Structure 1
Amino acid sequence: MAQAEVGIEAATESMTDRTILDTARKVFETYGVRRANIEDIAARAGVSRSTIYRRFPTKDDLFERVVRREGELFFATLDQATTGRNPQQAVVEAFALGVRLVQDSPLYSRIVESEPELFGLFSRSDVFPIRRFADGIAHTLRRCGADLPDADLANIADILLRVALGIIVFPTDRLDISDQDAVRDYAARYLVPIIGDVS
């Protein structure tokens, strides 16, 4: 999910799509993903159900697009934060930003607090595409100078993402995720060694 892809996605959204997606995000944040329904989203967005269904045939399709928007914002921010950094520094930045995203995003906070099992379901479906996010991490590491075969880099990115998600979704008392210095130190000590010397 490179920065160019972010621009393409944003450019293809119509005003109606943006309204639907913004409203859906608020409904998912308020009621949770499972309890949210298309009728409520349509009413709050001021559109008909058929308008939503024409654009997003199922609630899963709608939720996937909301999640993808969040991911696009994350990777745009990560691209800026890792400019001029080496792969090891990029791992620290990615982990710190990921932790902050979950804390700052009402949507992800809601999922972590009331529906954490959805992350497991999403990782095996297109709704929360782990591979897409892992590919974004691999792209960042490559851009920062990682010099590994594509398959190895993809597997390392996948491992880093799954470890980070596990820590975020199932917090440990060994890490205070509200302390950014502690988060960065944790990433430097325990996640950076996973990638080793890749530059």
Structure 2
Amino acid sequence: MAASRKERVTASPSAQEAAILAAAADEFTEVGVRRANMDEVAKAAGVSRSTLYRRFPSKDNLLVAVANDTFERGLARLEGAVRGLGPADAVVEAFATGAGMVTSDPLMRRIVFEDVEIRNITSGAMSTLFIEMVTARVASTLRDAGAIMPDEALFEAVELHVRLVISLLEVPVTDPQKRSADHVRHIAATYLAPMIH
């Protein structure tokens, strides 16, 4: 027990936060929001209960932080996947990579498909501000990939892509074949990529 206390004292605030977010992600993935236990999160993160609540006053605050962290890691992965590609190929790769993450990452799958409570709590993140933030980031990535269309047109096209992705996530297609990697790439190449030049 003394060793745990010493670790808590010496851990930097950023290391503590990273440990809390990782522990919370595991807890939300494993048991869902309703059954998630803040004491279990604190224990798994190696922090005191008071440290956890000082950083995240409620389970909802913690869930939003975990969702934001997951979103940031996802965007970084998308940016890495499209590095070196032209704009049309970048659209296809980003769409396919994003679809793959949602279906293969256990936390993303729970957030998007399985846990209605998580979606209800994080739905505020799907606000206009969220859409604008994602649109700006994706548009910047496509500009770096070589998109030459005017800024306004690029932002409008990307916003349509983002809104389409949100719609598909909120109401997924029921046909499993339409969720296959090949089908996702076909849809992106046929309908989405031509919007970007």
Equivalent position of 1:36 in the other structure: 36
Deviation string 1:22-65 (CA, Å, 9 cap, x unpaired) is 10001111222344343332233232222012223343332233
The structure in which a higher percent of residues are helix is 2
| 2:140 is the alignment partner of 1:139 | yes
Unaligned runs of 5+ in 2: 1-11
Give 1:136 deviation, angstroms. 2.0
In our comparison, the structure showing a higher alpha carbon Rg is: 2
Normalised by the length of structure 1, the TM-score is: 0.77
* Aligned partner of residue 177 in structure 2, secondary structure: coil
Equivalent position of 1:161 in the other structure: 162
Structure 1 counterpart of 2:52, which letter? I
* Aligned partner of residue 80 in structure 1, secondary structure: helix
Deviation string 1:152-195 (CA, Å, 9 cap, x unpaired) is 323322220121232234222467255212210111112223x2
Change (3 A) 1:51 1:110: same
Deviation string 1:98-147 (CA, Å, 9 cap, x unpaired) is 11111121111112123274364431288xx3333222211211111122
Give 1:17 deviation, angstroms. 1.3
Change (3 A) 1:106 1:36: same
Correspondence 1:1-199 to 2 at 5 A: 14-111=14-111, 112-115=113-116, 117-118=119-120, 120-124=123-127, 129-173=130-174, 176-193=177-194, 195-196=195-196, 198=197
RMSD: 2.7
Equivalent position of 2:9 in the other structure: none
Question: Percent of aligned pairs with the same residue?
Answer: 37
Equivalences, count: 183
